[in-house]
Amino acid sequence: MWCGSVSKALAAGYRLGWCLPGRYYKQYLAKRRYCNQGVTSPTQLAIADFINNGEYAGHLKKIRFNLHNYRLDYQHYLRQNLPVSSKISEPSGGFVLWIQIPNLDSVQLFRQAVKYNIDIRVGDHFTTLGLYKDCFRINIGYPLLAADGFENETLKQHKKLIDIVATMASKGTISTS
């Protein structure tokens, strides 16, 4: 079975995707009768045209290029500002980075980040095994600098996140070397 969507790459509000159910075709049709979210035909036709005329492929190419550059910017910034012991993921796609800092209490980091409206996800949220307590994930889907080259809200939030980590390090709760 193969499923896809334009929600992440084009617009979340469209809620438009596709499914090639293969050998599960009959079961798929039976389920779909009861679970249709009701995307409008004009939206479906517009997206189909966007895909068929090649504009969607161009759009994806631009997004991939931007995300690649954002990833490089974030990794450089984080390597310059986090403790040397930090490990930063090397994703082959997507728009998140995982950061691991030895002895970090990521739940405490999360609590502090929430106070400043900084959105991170902690490793505990992704396992039931008590793993990844020293890991957190950030979204890198936005540029660190505004188009004019000046600081934007994203960079301000990441600077504050770095400050929180530095404060935790100064209290001896994380490994800095």
CATH 3.90.1150.10 fits 63-170, yes or no: yes
Q: Please, what is the end-to-end C-alpha distance for the chain in angstroms?
A: 47
Q: Which of 85, 129, 125 is nearest to 103 (CA)?
A: 85
Mean pLDDT of the 153-169 span: 91
pLDDT band for position 80 (cuts 50, 70, 90): very high
Q: What is the pLDDT of residue 83?
A: 93
In order of 27, 112, 113, 124, 170, the CA distances from 105 in angstroms are 45, 11, 12, 10, 14
Residues 115 and 137: their CA atoms lie apart, in Å, by: 17
Q: Residue ranges of the domains in the chain? A: 63-170
- Position 94, amino acid: G
pTM for the model: 0.78
Secondary structure (3-state) at 148:
coil
* Tens digits of residue pLDDT in 162-174: 999 988 888 766 6
- Output the average pLDDT for the chain: 87
Q: What is the pLDDT of residue 38?
A: 62
pLDDT band for position 175 (cuts 50, 70, 90): low
Mean pLDDT of the 70-92 span: 93
Kindly report which listed range (28-42, 61-75, 78-92) carries the lowest average pLDDT score.
28-42
Mean pLDDT of the 140-164 span: 89
Mean pLDDT of the 25-53 span: 82
Q: What is the pLDDT of residue 56?
A: 92
Rounded to a whole number of angstroms, the CA Rg of the chain reads 21
Q: What is the pLDDT of residue 36?
A: 60
Give percent of the chain above pLDDT 70: 94
Q: What is the pLDDT of residue 174?
A: 65
Mean pLDDT of the 35-58 span: 83
